[in-house]
A and B are shown apart, each in its own frame.
Chain A
Amino acid sequence: MKDFAQLITTIDQTTKTSLKTKALAEYFTRAPDDDKLWTIALFSGRRPKRAVNTTQLREWAAERAGLPLWLLEESYPIVGDLAETIALILPKAEGSSDRSLTHWINFLRALSQAPQEDRKPQILAAWDELDDTERFLFNKLITGGWRIGVSQKLMTRALAEATGQDEASLAHRLMGGWTPDDVSYHNLIEAEDKAADLSRPYPFYLAYQLADGPDPLGDPGDWQAEWKWDGIRGQLILRMGEHHVWSRGEELMTDRFPELARARDFLPDGTVLDGEIVAWDGTQPLPFNTLQKRIGRKTVPKKLLTEAPVILLAYDLLEADGKDLRDTPLRDRRAALKKLIDPLPADAPLRVSEAIDFADWEALAQTRATARDRRAEGLMLKRLDSPYLAGRKKGDWWKWKLDPLTIDAVMIYAQQGHGRRANLFTDFTFAVWDGDALVPFTKAYSGLTDAEFGKITAWVRKNTQQRFGPVRQVTPHHVFEIAFEGIQESPRHKSGVALRFPRMSRWRHDKPLAEANTLDDLKAILSAYG
């Protein structure tokens, strides 16, 4: 694993994407095939079956380090990563070894078949022949969650550099439901693509936010506008008599949305649609929190299927009659999409997400302002002659989201962050005025710069009134503008509301404490947009 550890160390030691790519490409040139395959698997979110659970891992590590378990548990949120915490608290290894990445993966896979009582001594023995970085990686193989600054995109680029293949076609090869058990490096990366997994989606085309409005886009006649729905972006794939539903995060969601199985009754084989999965009341989307009940459920109880039925609002047609249409202009893909879906009966779980007629940008801006009433997040603007590209690209597609809702709130509790921000206060609870009292209504973690987090950290240390475990109650003093994307009623919260995507958008140094917003203000936003 020394080679792999060296790779990770090199990647960790640079902030430059080009250097990370270079290090990874070099690794892909020299590592043995099975290590390469596993590296690709790990960086695309696949990992070996869990051999031991993390509870056991914590207990064994604490015991080996001669520490009470609670001390490991307290250290973990500060370090931010269990695998790293364990690697750091263990005593220095007695021995060393240089076995391959694949060796350790196979070791863990064998361990998952071994009798329970054999597992602990084997893990302890492994820890004792690995240095700090190797141990961290070994633990990572068990716990999963490889956040090491290598996105799948970066890995794909490195692989393209190392193999001389086209990046987009490699991205396509890496999608789908493969595991290192059912494919070899050769078959996955080098062999001809005809055996490609039929469930594979196309890489999603993602848009950037339009920073300064649409004027720079030129002639409105060249553009198509649609609503940007607030659901789950997905691809519906119909091939060889089967259907597959993929999320943008490349998660297979077929079983979560059984309604979409009926698409097979209406559409021919060899069809791939890009669209938004939304909860649907028959004429328009239901609020996002209705759909939220469906997210995270692998199987769906009947009751939920009737309360929160979903459909796919189709944006685009990527494949028809088994033919890849991505290079066809949007104008023509759109026409084909409408021809395919518009005639379907009302009980089909499919609709075209309609394009919006508009005469000029100003008229469109007025339409955009009504997005919240439509339960949309804003608009999408797509150039009519654009192909369907892969990944986030500037130029042809733009999202033009609504400005977030905002409220000025008072910071009342603070908690230390973890990982990158272990030694800073980053997690805050905010309150609004209700008469003379401050009522907490949301937490927020993000939105400040590191320098601002540094400043507020120093301030929190000096202005702690009381501690509740890791939470500090601070003197009400600082007012922050909290931005959020949506609001809904919530009996679970003291304030009666819950926010969607709250974050600190501005530190209102200019605002006296007394001028923060009130609970009534919050309720007014709720009745307008909830």
Chain B
Amino acid sequence: MRDPVLTFTDRGIYCPAGDFFIDPWRPVDRALITHGHADHARSGHARYLATHAAGPVMRHRLGEIVIEGADYGETLRLGDAIVSFHPAGHIPGSAQIRVEVGGEVWVVSGDYKLLDDGLSEPFEPVRCHTFISECTFGLPVFKWTAQEVVARDLNDWWRGCVAEGRTAILGAYSLGKAQRLMRMLDAEIGPILTHGAVEGTNRVLRDQGLSLPDTVPVTPETKIKDHPGALVLAPPAALGSAWARRFGPASTGFASGWMRLRGVRRRRAADRGFVISDHADWPGLLQAITDTGAENVYVTHGYTDIFARWLNDRGWNAKVLPTEFGGDEDEAEAAA
């Protein structure tokens, strides 16, 4: 019997035919990376391969690395494997990785969402025999609201803050979510101030040609009274910290898929929770999996046991993929 297209090792997902790993969590010789989030792109690998669009952020976060770039859809031959990257819609540059060996096709989804956020390359379904899917929000209670509706709520909240003389401080993950939110904000309301972590990513993305609204980086000299009506974008950990105190009376908002749950909303102790996620919701997961035409599904991240059982009920051959991931961005948001 020949090897499966991909195998699961203690270093991560491995392709024996092509001798490479996908999003490995321990140092390897050759790592194919779905996207730049910390739980997928780790340091210490000898060689990296990712989309051209993902490269700059990875360099920004991981420092000097040996990285090759690929275009979306470009076919690469690695050993006996044929490999290509396809848009995952998760964050700019994010990809699903297609691996074909001897006519059998497997796809590793990385993180993905179906909704076109106007910023990331929109998700494209890829036909395959076996699909390795994330399921961070793999419960039927997770259903996202349309982006326009969230945008309206967000801007209403900001306007309300301006009217009450409060600074709006919005917590969001600094790569992807923050830039998506920036584009949802109504620049007429006031200036957008950014935390260094957010601005660092902004700079990288602007340099590679993405259009983002103007922002004002917060420095130790920044005085909030020079920026009336401001909204501050910061990573979740900065909310409630000494850093946030300089903005005077404030209302805090928080943007994450977890905000769908009232309990989590209340634990975050933010004034407002906005349900907005860069992961697929329940209907999205089901649609993505259906569209691949795959018979076999491995699920990872999130409520994997429940989601796999449900897929099995519905006729898929589904299994839980054991992973060692530390702090997916959305989990980190909720746990932070």
Contacts and interface: CB of A to CB of B under 8 A. Distances in A.
B262 A84 contact: yes
A79 B261 contact: yes
A423 B140 contact: no
A462 B267 contact: no
Contacts of A423: 258, 264, 331, 334-335
B324 A88 contact: no
Contacts, number: 84
B264 A420 contact: yes
Given A89-B141, A422-B261, A424-B335, A450 B267 contact: yes
Interface in B281-336: 303, 305-306, 309-310, 313, 324-327, 331, 334-336
A89 B267 contact: no
Interface stretch (A63-71, A159-167, A325-333, A476-484): A63-71
A71 B306 contact: yes
B136 to A, nearest CB: 10
Nearest to A149: B266
A469 B305 CA distance: 8
A445 interface: no
A365 B110 CA distance: 62
Q: Is the interface of A mostly helix, strand, loop or mixed?
A: helix
A151 B264 CA distance: 20
B266 A89 contact: no
Interface in B242-274: 258, 260-267, 269, 271-273
A79 B141 contact: yes
Interface residues of B, number: 32
B267 A421 contact: yes
Interface in B31-78: none
A402 interface: no
Contact of A79 (B263, B272, B309): B263
Contacts of A65: 140
Interface string B189-226: 00000000000000000000000000000000000000
A85 B141 contact: yes
Interface stretch (A10-18, A225-233, A244-252): A10-18
Contact of B269 (A15, A78, A80, A84): A15
B260 A88 contact: yes
A458 B25 CA distance: 14
Nearest to B140: A89
A12 B335 contact: no
B309 to A, nearest CB: 8
A68 B303 contact: no
A528 to B, nearest CB: 39
Contacts of B141: 75, 78-79, 85, 88-89
Nearest to B310: A71
A396 interface: no
The interface centre, meaning the residue of A79, A85, A136, A418 with most chain B CB atoms within 10 A of its CB, is: A79
B335 A454 contact: yes
A180 to B, nearest CB: 26
Contact of A419 (B263, B305, B306, B334): B263
A136 B142 CA distance: 15
Contacts of B266: 12, 149, 420
Contacts of A418: 263
Nearest to B324: A462
A136 B331 CA distance: 25
B143 interface: yes
B139 interface: yes
A248 to B, nearest CB: 25
Contact of B263 (A67, A74, A80, A451): A80
A139 B256 CA distance: 25
B305 A422 contact: no
Interface residues of A, number: 40
A81 B264 CA distance: 12
Nearest to A423: B334
Contacts of B331: 423, 457
B306 A458 contact: no
Contacts of B305: 467, 469-470
The interface centre, meaning the residue of A13, A67, A70, A470 with most chain B CB atoms within 10 A of its CB, is: A13
B265 A12 contact: yes
A358 interface: no
A500 interface: no
A470 B334 CA distance: 20
Interface in B122-177: 139-143
Contacts of B263: 79-81, 418-422
A71 B140 contact: yes
Contact of A88 (B143, B258, B309): B143
The interface centre, meaning the residue of B142, B143, B260, B267 with most chain A CB atoms within 10 A of its CB, is: B267
Contacts of B258: 423
Contacts of B139: 74-75, 78
B264 A15 contact: no
A461 interface: yes
A469 B306 CA distance: 10
A178 interface: no
Interface string A444-469: 00000011011001100110000101
A149 to B, nearest CB: 7
Interface string A415-439: 0001111111000000000000000
Nearest to B145: A132
Contacts of A80: 261, 263
B272 A13 contact: yes
Contacts of B265: 12
Contacts of A79: 141, 261, 263
Nearest to A8: B262
B14 to A, nearest CB: 19
Nearest to A92: B143
Contacts of A450: 267, 335
A67 B140 contact: yes
Contacts of B264: 420, 422-423
The interface centre, meaning the residue of B141, B143, B265, B327 with most chain A CB atoms within 10 A of its CB, is: B141
A464 to B, nearest CB: 8
For the complex of A and B, the 6 pairs showing the least CB-CB separation, nearest first, are A454-B335, A419-B263, A88-B141, A420-B267, A420-B263, A89-B140
Interface of A: 12-15, 65, 67-68, 70-72, 74-75, 78-81, 84-85, 88-89, 136, 149, 418-424, 450-451, 453-454, 457-458, 461-462, 467, 469-470
14 contacts: A12-B262, A13-B272, A13-B273, A74-B139, A78-B139, A78-B141, A79-B141, A84-B262, A136-B262, A420-B263, A422-B264, A457-B331, A462-B326, A469-B305
Interface of B: 139-143, 258, 260-267, 269, 271-273, 303, 305-306, 309-310, 313, 324-327, 331, 334-336
Given A79-B261, A81-B262, A89-B141, 7 more contacts: A13-B272, A79-B141, A88-B140, A419-B263, A421-B263, A424-B335, A470-B305
